[in-house]
Amino acid sequence: MDKNKIFSSFQKLGKVLMAPVLLLPISGILVGIGSAFTNASLIKVAPFLDNSFFSLLFQLMKEAGNVVNNNISIIFAICIAYGYAKSEKATAALSGFLGYMTMNTVMGSFLIARGIIDTSNLITGQKSILGVVTLDTGVFGGIIIGIVVSYLHNKYYKIQLPPVLGIFNGTRFIPAITIIVASFVGIGLSFIFPPIQNALQLSSEFINSTGVFGAFVYGFSERILLPFGLHHFIYLPFFFTSLGGVMEIGGQTVEGAVNIYNAILNTPGSMFDINISRYVMNGKVLFAMFGLTGAALAIYKTAHKDNRKKVASLMIAAVIPCALMGITEPLEYSFLFVAPILFGVHALLSGIAYILTYIVSFNVAGPSAFGGPLLSWIFNGILNADKGSNWYWLLILGPIYFIIYYYVFKFTIIKFNLKTPGREAEENKDEKVNKNSTDNLIPMIVEAVGGKENILKVEACFTRLRLTLEDTEIVKPNEYFKNELSANGIVKVSEGVQIIYGNKASVYKTEMREFLGIE
């Protein structure tokens, strides 16, 4: 595969994976607001929130937001199948859903039959997905099925079978073959995934025995495994089992970091212990409130000027749930798939955040279970200073971490020319005024790329009209697009061309599809 094909494939993958990512900010905001205003500490300060109307309102907000959060793996499966489909995209999307549910149903039933899953006593890594008890493969499972379905769809959506099987001709074959293949994927994962899960659980014991280094491994592993949906194998054993500690508080023996932390909060005279606090994500307070906010600013600053308004909207919507409630996924997913190296940098800095908070004994819990970073810092930190929260360290380390994230992200994005949101048209000049009406311009573009019969697919990103062509050799010279068609530039790739039109690209895509009479 040549360089242009690789470049085109990665751009396509980034575009496809951004579709479900863009759903996360609104879900994060809804869940964040709902969680914040039902937090017990806040209700103590504002008792008027403790009535049936507000309780129902904020509970409904959480439930609405969690529709996306709880089903993000399914959404990935559908969006990838849809995005990669050459044609008949609705069938591909339907097959993505069928494939994902088939994989989980077969995998769950197979593991139940083997006695690995006990439906009456689910353990970490096992869950019910739309009523199906199975392994929790996270986003990883959704991505696998999405890619499998898109491959099957593009290979077989025009298939002609023998007359006896004619009912399955064409697109009707796709759901059928998807169910069959997804069943084998489910059986395969039932052998592959449990050993991975067991290895992660064993790593918890190593983390627990290695002091400050263990704090780094805990923070780094919890972040780096997020894209695969395996991060809960890192923190859940510490949250609720004896791995997170066993202490006698108020005359009672308590085990699990979350339970111990809550018991300390509710017992006068009990003092925080950093060996417990590190497991309730004290490092997350630092990187969620300050670090990722700096990263968001770097993404905004490195975006092309023409795209900054759009990028600002995305970043603001992602930063709000991140900084306030610790819901980091909307922001992390905005760069995870288009620039994986940045996520690696972020995971490394997250691990270092846990080292720093361990060294200074910063005893403030970070997850949304404790109200999220901000509320936890106020109620568990400032208002419980007498328990040794050392809340003031956030005011010292926070700005430093903001600056570190900002400059590290900015340097990395520019150095490696990473295509973070808003940078796809980095090379654009200021948009020219289009002297042609759209009615005249679209036919001229079609003619310039070889006519209707030469265009296979019409897509668009932030600033580029992306055309997949039958023959790229008959496209007019680059200068023609700039001088006659008011384009800012043109990029020729192996399968077609990308004509740079700035913010008008999306409108041109729609009008060209209508002009060509294609989906």
Active site residues: 461
- Pairwise CA distance, residues 444 & 449, whole Å: 9
Within 225-362, where are the H helices?
232-240, 257-266, 274-277, 282-286, 292-302, 308-325, 329-336, 340-359
d(CA 82, CA 80): 5
Inter-CA distances, 321 with 219, 364, 393, 468, Å: 20, 18, 22, 38
Q: State the pairing for strand pair 132-135/126-129.
A: antiparallel
Q: How far apart are CA 16 and CA 80, in angstroms?
A: 6
273: left (phi over 0), alpha (psi -120 to 50) or beta: beta
Could you tell me which residues come within 8 angstroms of residue 305 by beta carbon, excluding any fewer than 6 positions away? none
Contact between 79 and 20 under an 8 Å Cβ cutoff? The reply is yes
Apex 473 CA angle, 469 and 479, nearest 5: 100
Number of neighbours of residue 211 by Cβ within 10 angstroms: 12
Q: How far apart are CA 278 and CA 274, in angstroms?
A: 6
- What tokens appear for 231 in the block? 């991060």
- Distance CA(516)–CA(453), nearest Å, equals 9
Single-letter code of the amino acid located at 390: N
Cβ(28)–Cβ(330) below 8 Å:
yes
Q: How many helices (H) and strands (E) does the chain have?
A: 22, 8
**What is d(CA 377, CA 389) in angstroms, rounded to the nearest whole number?**
9
CA 301 to chain centre: 21
**Residues whose CB is less than 8 angstroms from the CB of residue 273 and which lie 6 or more positions away in sequence, other chains included:** 245, 247, 260, 264, 363
Count of beta carbons in the 10 Å neighbourhood of residue 442: 19
Pairing mode, strands 246-249 and 489-493: unpaired
Given a contact cutoff of 8 angstroms between Cβ atoms, the answer to whether 78 and 47 are in contact is: no
Structural contact between residues 389 and 274, judged by C-beta atoms closer than 8 angstroms: no
